[in-house]
């Protein structure tokens, strides 16, 4: 695969091309994430595709057979897939591998066949395939590659045809999906596919895969997952919001000021995590570029000393360790015994420490940290399922972008796994509270499905760019509200948006509102909102406030 007349490539050459594609995608993660239809700072398509492809290629050793390389890559992608885009990418790689079979050499016809098989697998992975997505892009890739191969083109020319097809298909996605057209973006997953193929082509043509403005590479993972026993100093996290933030410059500078650096975002919103001996220096640097919120500074030395002194270990992902007492220790032992003896095991995904504690208190056996921007992998979900002693397990994804990974995990474990399609965290809470161990799995599944139909979810966050979504015009910096994952309202004040959202729900039909406070939102803000809701809807039996700790969304309201 070195020039336009090349007819074949072997496994070693193919692996080099895949590694180049992964490097190219890694440098475009922010660009792909920015193509989020909703103008909220939680786009994670690029992150999920990057982590999935990285997992697929981890520790793969060169060997002569293309088929052998593909078999390893697709198997690792299956377990490492994150988010819907990552799962679909893993299925594309699976189909690609099936097309290659046991072939030692890759030629033009085989490449075209592999792309076609990849598209077929991807479409099968989605219950209701939607055109104008990455599905369309990979299908068009296969069609263009096959047409070129049928014309007798060389291997490189077929690859060029595939790349051309991807670019054209991505550009056409807004014509196929009104949501993309209204938002003024192309499909993020489709763009990810185009970037991957472009990386392969650049490698083949000897162009190199280092961007002139190459960013500092930092893994986009859940912050709590990057700590180790050797960490010291101050764990510093914050959200920076502004206009025309020099993102790459800021990220590079923060990277030079500490360790365990994670910086994600764009030119309007930057979320950062850094371990440093001088947190003030970091904050003083970034304050020149915008407004700081959600600032948290933790002394890791003190935390570790406390852990060693008490022997306490957080039993739930994302839950801060607490000093152990005899009463809490006994309660924890009782909870663990109850979980182990229950006839049905439960795995739930939680986006913050408050949510984790809620599921923990409801005797959920395994709580996996996850949510927007930190989707757990298929392997993480499968391992959580396998850790439970029960053979019958219920999974609560609690996020529409985790459903496919949950279904993929269901396929690779040797247990009876049922997925309750909870698309929001309040749905997950409603589902677990309806679980009754006196009933069998089938009856519990029915009760849980009925429970999630009775709860409405309102999410309140801040727009990071101008957009028009489902007829609602949004300006950067406005408060926006989503009802059951659909953007409903935008306004200059949180109160006005919440009012619009509650009207959209139809509050006369509901009795209870629970307000879950986001990361960095104080109790006082929650109490003010609660009083406002009580005053507007005096018929409500209850308005509660809970700590959720979820990132990006200041408030999540469960309406029941």
Residue 347: CB partners within 8 Å, gap ≥ 6?
364, 365, 366, 367, 368, 381, 384, 385, 388, 393, 394, 395, 396
Three-state DSSP state, 408: helix
Asked whether residue 3 is domain-assigned, the answer is no
At 227, the pLDDT band (50, 70, 90 cuts) reads: very low
Smallest Cα–Cα separation from 552: which of 496, 490, 482, 486? 482
**Parallel, antiparallel, or unpaired for β 479-483 and 8-9?**
unpaired
How many helices (DSSP H) and strands (DSSP E) are in the chain? 21, 18
Exposure of 506 by Cβ count < 10 A (0-12 exposed, 13-18 middle, 19+ buried)? exposed
CATH number for 26: 1.25.40.340
Is residue 437 domain-shared with residue 412, that is, in the same domain? yes
Task: Report whether pLDDT(421) > 70.
Answer: yes
Contact 497, 553 (CB under 8 A): no
Euclidean distance between CA atoms 185 and 177, whole angstroms: 10
| Domain termination site, one of 269, 304, 339 | 304
Asked whether residue 216 is domain-assigned, the answer is no
The dihedrals phi and psi of 412, each to the nearest 5 degrees, come to -105, 5
Out of 144-158, 241-255, 294-308, pick the least confident: 294-308
Token pair recorded at residue 252: 């590079």
Asked whether residue 211 is domain-assigned, the answer is no
Asked whether residue 2 is domain-assigned, the answer is no
pLDDT in tens, 453-506: 999 999 999 888 888 888 888 888 899 999 998 999 999 999 999 999 999 999
The dihedrals phi and psi of 421, each to the nearest 5 degrees, come to -75, 60
Average pLDDT taken over every residue of the chain:
85
Euclidean distance between CA atoms 487 and 504, whole angstroms: 11
Contact 194, 166 (CB under 8 A): yes
Domain of residue 16: give its range: 8-204
Is residue 546 domain-shared with residue 430, that is, in the same domain? no
At 392, the pLDDT band (50, 70, 90 cuts) reads: very high
Task: Report whether pLDDT(321) > 80.
Answer: no
Q: Give this prediction's pTM.
A: 0.75
Is residue 443 domain-shared with residue 466, that is, in the same domain? no
pLDDT in tens, 114-140: 999 999 999 998 888 899 999 999 999
| Domain termination site, one of 416, 431, 453 | 453
Is residue 152 domain-shared with residue 170, that is, in the same domain? yes
Smallest Cα–Cα separation from 75: which of 63, 61, 57? 57
Asked whether residue 488 is domain-assigned, the answer is yes
Contact 257, 315 (CB under 8 A): no
Q: What is the pLDDT, as a whole number, of residue 240?
A: 85
Three-state DSSP state, 394: strand
Is residue 297 domain-shared with residue 345, that is, in the same domain? no
The Cα-based distances of 371 to 181, 405, 424, 451 in angstroms read 26, 12, 9, 21
Q: Give Cα 313 to chain centroid, integer Å.
A: 26
| Domain termination site, one of 453, 475, 508 | 453
Asked whether residue 342 is domain-assigned, the answer is yes
Task: Report whether pLDDT(329) > 90.
Answer: no
User: How wide is the angle at C-alpha 174 spanned by C-alphas 173 and 176, nearest 5°?
Assistant: 65
Is residue 270 domain-shared with residue 190, that is, in the same domain? no
Euclidean distance between CA atoms 530 and 524, whole angstroms: 10
Token pair recorded at residue 434: 């309806």
Is residue 413 domain-shared with residue 436, that is, in the same domain? yes
> Listing from the earlier edge strand, what are the strands of the sheet with 345-350?
366-369, 345-350, 392-396, 416-419
CATH number for 350: 3.40.50.510
The dihedrals phi and psi of 321, each to the nearest 5 degrees, come to -60, 140
Token pair recorded at residue 41: 């700072």
Q: What is the largest CA-CA distance in the chain?
A: 77
Task: Report whether pLDDT(403) > 80.
Answer: yes
Contact 397, 406 (CB under 8 A): yes
Q: What is the pLDDT, as a whole number, of residue 262?
A: 65
Is residue 22 domain-shared with residue 119, that is, in the same domain? yes
Contact 482, 458 (CB under 8 A): yes
Euclidean distance between CA atoms 429 and 399, whole angstroms: 12
Task: Report whether pLDDT(217) > 50.
Answer: no
Using a pLDDT cut of 70, give the percent of the chain over it. 86
CATH number for 242: 3.30.70
Out of 101-110, 115-124, 300-309, 338-347, pick the least confident: 300-309
Residue environment code for 199-230, b if the CB has 16+ CB neighbours within 10 A, otherwise e: bbbbbbeeeebeeeeebeebebbbbbebeeee
The Cα-based distances of 34 to 40, 477, 520 in angstroms read 9, 16, 24
Asked whether residue 130 is domain-assigned, the answer is yes
Residue environment code for 519-537, b if the CB has 16+ CB neighbours within 10 A, otherwise e: bbbeeebbeebbebbeeee
Is residue 483 domain-shared with residue 410, that is, in the same domain? no
Token pair recorded at residue 63: 């060997």
Is residue 197 domain-shared with residue 230, that is, in the same domain? no
Asked whether residue 143 is domain-assigned, the answer is yes
Give me the residues paired with residue 539 across strands.
none
CATH number for 492: 3.30.1180
Is residue 392 domain-shared with residue 475, that is, in the same domain? no
Cα first-last separation, the chain: 60
The dihedrals phi and psi of 180, each to the nearest 5 degrees, come to -70, -40
The dihedrals phi and psi of 537, each to the nearest 5 degrees, come to -135, 75
Q: What is the pLDDT, as a whole number, of residue 485?
A: 87
Is residue 400 domain-shared with residue 470, that is, in the same domain? no
Task: Report whether pLDDT(306) > 50.
Answer: no
User: Number of folded domains in the chain?
Assistant: 4
């Amino acid at each position: 695969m070195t020039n336009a007349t090349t007819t074949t490539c072997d496994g070693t050459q193919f692996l080099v091309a895949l590694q180049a594609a992964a490097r190219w995608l890694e440098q475009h993660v922010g660009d792909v994430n920015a193509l989020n239809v909703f103008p909220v700072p939680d786009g994670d398509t690029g992150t999920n595709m990057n982590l999935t492809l990285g997992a697929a290629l981890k520790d793969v050793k060169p060997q002569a057979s293309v088929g052998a390389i593909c078999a390893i890559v697709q198997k690792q992608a299956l377990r490492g897939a994150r988010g819907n885009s990552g799962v679909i990418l893993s299925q594309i790689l699976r189909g690609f591998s099936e097309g290659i079979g046991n072939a030692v050499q890759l030629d033009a016809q085989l490449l075209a066949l592999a792309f076609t098989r990849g598209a077929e697998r991807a479409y099968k992975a989605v219950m209701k395939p939607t055109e104008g997505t990455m599905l369309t892009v990979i299908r068009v890739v296969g069609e263009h590659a096959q047409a070129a191969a049928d014309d007798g083109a060389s291997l490189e020319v077929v690859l060029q045809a595939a790349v051309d097809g991807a670019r054209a298909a991505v550009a056409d996605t807004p014509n196929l999906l009104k949501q993309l057209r209204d938002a003024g973006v192309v499909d993020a997953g489709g763009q990810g596919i185009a970037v991957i193929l472009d990386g392969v082509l650049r490698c083949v043509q000897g162009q190199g895969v280092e961007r002139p403005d190459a960013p500092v590479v930092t893994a986009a993972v859940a912050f709590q997952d990057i700590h180790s026993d050797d960490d010291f100093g101050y764990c510093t996290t914050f959200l920076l919001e502004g206009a025309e933030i020099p993102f790459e410059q800021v990220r590079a500078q923060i990277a030079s000021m500490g360790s365990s650096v994670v910086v994600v975002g764009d030119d309007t919103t930057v979320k950062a995590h850094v371990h440093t001996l001088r947190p003030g220096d970091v904050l003083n640097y970034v304050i020149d570029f915008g407004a700081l919120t959600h600032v948290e500074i933790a002394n890791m030395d003190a935390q570790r000393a406390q852990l060693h002194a008490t022997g306490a270990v957080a039993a739930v992902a994302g839950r801060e360790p607490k000093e152990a007492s005899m009463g809490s220790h006994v309660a924890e032992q009782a909870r663990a015994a109850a979980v182990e003896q229950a006839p049905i095991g439960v795995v739930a995904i939680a986006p913050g420490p408050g949510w984790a504690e809620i599921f923990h208190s409801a005797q959920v056996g395994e709580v996996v940290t996850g949510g927007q921007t930190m989707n757990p992998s298929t392997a993480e979900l499968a391992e959580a399922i396998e850790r439970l002693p029960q053979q019958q397990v219920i999974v609560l994804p609690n996020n529409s972008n985790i459903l496919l990974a949950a279904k993929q995990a269901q396929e690779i474990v040797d247990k009876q796994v049922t997925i309750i399609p909870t698309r929001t965290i309040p749905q997950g809470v409603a589902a677990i509270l309806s679980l009754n161990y006196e009933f069998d799995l089938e009856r519990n599944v029915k009760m849980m499905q009925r429970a999630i139909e009775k709860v409405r979810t309102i999410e309140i966050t801040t727009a990071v760019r101008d957009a028009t979504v489902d007829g609602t015009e949004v300006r950067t910096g406005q408060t926006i509200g989503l009802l059951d994952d659909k953007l409903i309202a935008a306004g200059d004040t949180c109160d006005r948006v919440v009012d619009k959202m509650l009207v959209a729900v139809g509050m006369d039909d509901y009795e209870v509102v629970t307000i879950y406070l986001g990361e960095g939102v104080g109790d006082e803000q929650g109490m003010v909102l609660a009083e406002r809701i009580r005053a507007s809807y005096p018929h409500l039996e209850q308005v509660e406030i809970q700590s959720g700790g979820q990132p990006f969304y200041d408030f999540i309201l469960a309406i029941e």
